[in-house]
Chains A and B, each alone.
Chain A
Amino acid sequence: MSNPITSIKLVLLGEAAVGKSSIVLRFVSNDFSENKEPTIGAAFLTQRVNINDHTVKFEIWDTAGQERFASLAPMYYRNAQAALVVYDVTKPQSFIKARHWVKELHEQASKNIIIALVGNKIDILEDNENERKVAREEAEKLAEEEGLLFFETSAKTGTNISEVFLGIGEKIPLKGLEDEHNNNGLNVTEDQRINLANTANASENASACSC
């Protein structure tokens, strides 16, 4: 018998090029790419982590650039249990944007969403602390006021990346087995939800009319 699994929908928000996709890539594949293209192709990744004797499965939604012209769909926030609001510690503008996203999440997302404020690219500061354009204290203050988790990270070196996700995992109320998404059954559950993707399970003999 395996651990109980809790699925968590986690969404990423932040200005373009702050490193949202890089953080996910580091977390999911422990990888980094210098010239990461703007997000294309993969914007739905999953990663499991064990927290105590519980497994948390993160379903990670990347914005796919839809935030760029204020075109993020309500679907994106829908049912999200956690959000990473990411800024670049060397870009003050990106912190202003982060404030905006925190506000937006409080308005649009579910009430008990867990939000982590993430200042990324701290590796750049190692060579030259003058590059820092967003004071740690300023971000800590925002996090305190708004009830956010706060981390400074580097997707490049991996600093603090898993801490972000573990921190969120620890704050999520863990669910029992009954809430687990069952990907093997027909998934016509009690409340008639249907897993459409499971074509193999739909009645094979579909041409036989049962009317």
Chain B
Amino acid sequence: MGEEMDTEYDVIVLGTGITECILSGLLSVDGKKVLHIDKQDHYGGESASVNLSQLYSQFKKNPIGKDEIESKFGKDRDWNVDLIPKFLMANGELTNILVHTDVTRYVEFKQVSGSYVFKQGKIYKVPATEMEAISSPLMGIFEKRRMKKFLEWISSCKEDEISTHQGLDLDKNTMDEVYYKFGLGNSTKEFIGHAMALWTNDDYLQQPARPSYERVLLYCQSVARYGKSPYLYPLYGLGELPQGFARLSAIYGGTYMLDTPIEKVLYTDNDSENGNFEGVQTKLGTFKAPLVIADPTYFSHKCKSTGQRVIRAICILNHPVPNTGDADSLQIIIPQSQVGRKNDIYIAIVSDAHNVCSKGHYLAIISTIVETEAPHIELEPAFKLLGPIEEKFMGIADLFEPKEDGSKDNIYLSKSYDASSHFESMTDDVKDIYFRVTGHPLVLKKRNDEDAQEE
């Protein structure tokens, strides 16, 4: 656009996925001069929400035209389909970051109506209140009492008051030992471990109880915050989140360039093997910074596979999911043991109530970790719960993580978005990268802009 522009920055960020956008926003607020680039022409990278034309061209070999799409599904622009399904925990870290950075000004949230769990061929609402718990068919009467004792322990356990621990050591006792102490049966264990602690497999049973304890506590606190379910979801889809943090970054001076592929990464001594990051070359010029933050797609040779692959199936429905009381949004967890698997299957369902699809439609996104040579068949139990499906888009993603921590070459890479149903592992990654980049832990302060006079 014929404007002269700065070529030296404190940080270059590549990719506008949510991880990168949060870091970009936080660093700009810290006063760092940030240049944020995406090779694609829209925000969000892997965590974008896309319209139907984009979805068809990304997933189908012979995508149908826009006219045909619109005659079937209504206006293309009414659709904002998430590529990665997740919900926010109401009391989770992403909520915390949103509130402290005031990005809540740009994004509106709704509660997710319910959380369901699959048991012996049927789905049941995960009780959100004591009343629901008493009437829930998920547990027998005696088991309910034991469950109540367990939950009382969770909420009363205080770090520095040994008496509240009831003889359990969160760092020594395994979670299975905790269950044993409260006399909880297998189906309750499954319920707590998978529907509340949201573990995707049973490895946690033999591990120290602390992380499980923390996860159950987070679940309970999240439910207590607004009722109904522990989850929140942004209007217009998850793609609003990276956009909101990008705006935060821009307001604090961050420079944004979309649709700008990286032609070349520059290293010190021209040594791409052992050199340090020096800058990037693009169609708009060469830009330099002492460090770069990027998603794995920008530095694939510096990433390795985690060994896990996630299959995701985006389904368009023209009816609510059966047996959910016509809920406009919900999560269904199919615990692994119920369907003879090692990993749980998740279904995230949202609808026109969230401005993510045209009127009368529902979007269900199924995801799980691939275990066999025929991954689409692994999703069968989930398809069965949804009723008739208008259209299906399936994709398999390899999960990547950086080989190194960035201290050697000043290249700090994020991890791929995992199969979990919420953002807690993503925010862990954000905090970890923030620490490695700045040398100090992330402390969230209330944003303070004098100019913005709010009443």
**Which residues of A does B touch, CB under 8 Å?**
16, 28, 39-46, 64-66, 68-71, 73-76, 78, 183, 188, 191-197, 199, 202-203, 205-211
- Neighbouring A residues of B243 by C-beta, 8 Å: 73-75
* Shortest distance between the CB of A52 and any CB in chain B (Å): 21
Complex: A44 Cα to B447 Cα, angstroms: 13
Contact with A along B222-263 (1 / 0, CB 8 A): 011111100010011000100110110011110111111000
Whether B151 pairs with A211 at a CB distance below 8 angstroms is yes
Complex: A112 Cα to B320 Cα, angstroms: 31
With A70-B259, A73-B247, A211-B128 in contact, do A193 and B109 touch (Cβ < 8 Å)? yes
- Neighbouring A residues of B1 by C-beta, 8 Å: 68-69
Whether A188 pairs with B111 at a CB distance below 8 angstroms is yes
Whether B252 pairs with A40 at a CB distance below 8 angstroms is yes
Interface centre among A64, A68, A188 (most CB of B within 10 A): A64
Complex: A199 Cα to B284 Cα, angstroms: 43
Complex: A199 Cα to B226 Cα, angstroms: 11
Whether B155 pairs with A40 at a CB distance below 8 angstroms is no
Q: Please list 8 pairs of residues, one from A and one from B, whose beta carbons are closer than 8 Å in the complex, sorted by A's number.
A: A40-B251, A41-B451, A42-B451, A68-B256, A74-B43, A192-B113, A206-B221, A210-B129
Whether B247 pairs with A69 at a CB distance below 8 angstroms is no
**Which residues of B does A touch, CB under 8 Å?**
1, 3, 42-43, 90-91, 95, 98-99, 102, 104-111, 113, 127-130, 133, 151, 154-155, 196, 217, 219-221, 223-228, 232, 235-236, 240, 243-244, 246-247, 250-253, 255-260, 284, 353, 449-455
Whether A66 pairs with B155 at a CB distance below 8 angstroms is no
* Shortest distance between the CB of A92 and any CB in chain B (Å): 14
* Shortest distance between the CB of B146 and any CB in chain A (Å): 14
- Neighbouring B residues of A71 by C-beta, 8 Å: 256-258
Complex: A40 Cα to B254 Cα, angstroms: 9
- Neighbouring B residues of A45 by C-beta, 8 Å: 451-453
- Neighbouring A residues of B228 by C-beta, 8 Å: 192
* Shortest distance between the CB of B162 and any CB in chain A (Å): 18
Chain A residue with minimal CB distance to B158? A207
The 4 closest A-B pairs by CB, nearest first: A42-B451, A209-B220, A71-B256, A64-B250
- Neighbouring A residues of B107 by C-beta, 8 Å: 75
* Shortest distance between the CB of B298 and any CB in chain A (Å): 17
Chain A residue with minimal CB distance to B49? A74
Complex: A73 Cα to B228 Cα, angstroms: 32
* Shortest distance between the CB of A143 and any CB in chain B (Å): 25
Whether A194 pairs with B232 at a CB distance below 8 angstroms is yes
- B108, B127, B225, B251: the one within 8 Å of A193 (CB): B108
- Neighbouring B residues of A41 by C-beta, 8 Å: 251-252, 449, 451
- Neighbouring B residues of A44 by C-beta, 8 Å: 105, 251, 452
Number of A-B contacts (CB under 8 A): 142
* Shortest distance between the CB of B26 and any CB in chain A (Å): 15
- Neighbouring B residues of A73 by C-beta, 8 Å: 43, 243, 246-247
With A192-B113, A196-B109 in contact, do A210 and B224 touch (Cβ < 8 Å)? yes
Complex: A195 Cα to B102 Cα, angstroms: 11
Whether B225 pairs with A202 at a CB distance below 8 angstroms is yes
- B90, B221, B236: the one within 8 Å of A78 (CB): B236
Whether A209 pairs with B255 at a CB distance below 8 angstroms is no
* Shortest distance between the CB of B3 and any CB in chain A (Å): 7
Whether B109 pairs with A210 at a CB distance below 8 angstroms is no
- Neighbouring A residues of B220 by C-beta, 8 Å: 207, 209-211
Interface centre among A28, A40, A71, A191 (most CB of B within 10 A): A71
Complex: A183 Cα to B104 Cα, angstroms: 13
Whether B452 pairs with A42 at a CB distance below 8 angstroms is yes
- Neighbouring A residues of B251 by C-beta, 8 Å: 39-44, 64
With A70-B258, A75-B240 in contact, do A209 and B155 touch (Cβ < 8 Å)? yes
Whether A196 pairs with B258 at a CB distance below 8 angstroms is no
Whether B258 pairs with A207 at a CB distance below 8 angstroms is no
With A66-B250, A68-B1, A196-B109 in contact, do A211 and B223 touch (Cβ < 8 Å)? yes
* Shortest distance between the CB of A113 and any CB in chain B (Å): 14
- Neighbouring A residues of B451 by C-beta, 8 Å: 41-42, 45
* Shortest distance between the CB of B428 and any CB in chain A (Å): 20
With A73-B247, A196-B99, A197-B99 in contact, do A28 and B453 touch (Cβ < 8 Å)? yes
* Shortest distance between the CB of B263 and any CB in chain A (Å): 16
Complex: A211 Cα to B195 Cα, angstroms: 12
Whether A66 pairs with B128 at a CB distance below 8 angstroms is no
With A75-B247, A197-B99, A209-B223 in contact, do A69 and B257 touch (Cβ < 8 Å)? yes
Complex: A196 Cα to B129 Cα, angstroms: 21
- Neighbouring A residues of B98 by C-beta, 8 Å: 196
Complex: A1 Cα to B243 Cα, angstroms: 38
Chain B residue with minimal CB distance to A75? B243
- A195, A197, A208: the one within 8 Å of B224 (CB): A208
- B42, B109, B151: the one within 8 Å of A209 (CB): B151
- A66, A69, A193, A196: the one within 8 Å of B95 (CB): A196
Complex: A71 Cα to B42 Cα, angstroms: 8
Whether B133 pairs with A211 at a CB distance below 8 angstroms is yes
With A44-B452, A65-B250 in contact, do A202 and B226 touch (Cβ < 8 Å)? yes
Whether A69 pairs with B256 at a CB distance below 8 angstroms is yes
- Neighbouring B residues of A42 by C-beta, 8 Å: 251, 449-452
- Neighbouring A residues of B257 by C-beta, 8 Å: 69, 71
Complex: A41 Cα to B110 Cα, angstroms: 28
Chain B residue with minimal CB distance to A74? B243
* Shortest distance between the CB of B286 and any CB in chain A (Å): 15
* Shortest distance between the CB of A206 and any CB in chain B (Å): 4
- Neighbouring A residues of B253 by C-beta, 8 Å: 40
Complex: A199 Cα to B219 Cα, angstroms: 17
* Shortest distance between the CB of B240 and any CB in chain A (Å): 6
Complex: A208 Cα to B452 Cα, angstroms: 36
- Neighbouring A residues of B106 by C-beta, 8 Å: 75
15 other A-B residue contacts (CB within 8 Å) besides A39-B251, A43-B251? A68-B256, A71-B258, A75-B247, A194-B110, A197-B99, A197-B104, A197-B105, A202-B226, A207-B220, A208-B155, A209-B154, A209-B224, A210-B129, A211-B130, A211-B196
